[in-house]
Amino acid sequence: MKLLDRLSNLVFPNSQPITEEVLRYYEKNPDELDLIINREAFHIAYLGIIFVLGIGATVAARMVAYFFGDQLGEFVNSVVLDVISELGIALFGGAVVAYLIEYLNKRQYQQNIKFRRQVKAMLAERSAAQESVD
C-alpha cells in the first residue's frame, strides 16, 4: 500500500456504515443521493506544471546569482533573486500541498461512489421486499 493511501485512510476511513437511519433519509430524499458523487474533475496535471515552474524559478534564481560580481550583482542577488527564489519555493510548496489535498478529494470521491452504490442497492432490496409483501 502506498504512503498516500495509508495517510488518506487516516483521514477517510474505508467504509462508512449504512444504518437504518441513513436508509430512511435517502428513501425520503433520493435526489440527494446523487449529490454525493457530483463533483468536478481532478486537475493533478496542472499542479505538476506549477510544481515544475516553481522549481525552475528557484533553480534559475540561484544560478543567476553566480553571474554577477559587482554592486549591481549584490543587489540583484540579495533582493531580486531572493524574491524570485522565495516565490518559486512558495509555488512548488503550494503545488505539493494542493496535490495532497486533490489526492484526498479523489479518494473521498471514490468512497462516495461506493457508498452511493451500497445505499441504492439496499434501497432497491427494501423496495423489492415491500412489493413482495404487498
Domain count, the chain: 1
- Flag whether 3 is in a domain: no
Query: Residue 134 corresponds to which cell in the numbers above?
Result: 404487498
- Flag whether 69 is in a domain: yes
- Flag whether 89 is in a domain: yes
Report the largest interatomic distance among the alpha carbons of the chain, rounded to a whole angstrom: 93
- Flag whether 8 is in a domain: no
Work out the pLDDT band at 104, boundaries 50, 70, 90: confident
Give SS3 for 78.
Answer: helix
Work out the pLDDT band at 114, boundaries 50, 70, 90: confident
- Flag whether 86 is in a domain: yes
- Flag whether 111 is in a domain: yes
- Flag whether 6 is in a domain: no
Alpha carbons 55 and 89: distance in angstroms, whole number: 7
Range of 92's domain? 19-26+42-133
- Flag whether 37 is in a domain: no
pTM of the entire structure? Answer: 0.51
Alpha carbons 105 and 42: distance in angstroms, whole number: 9
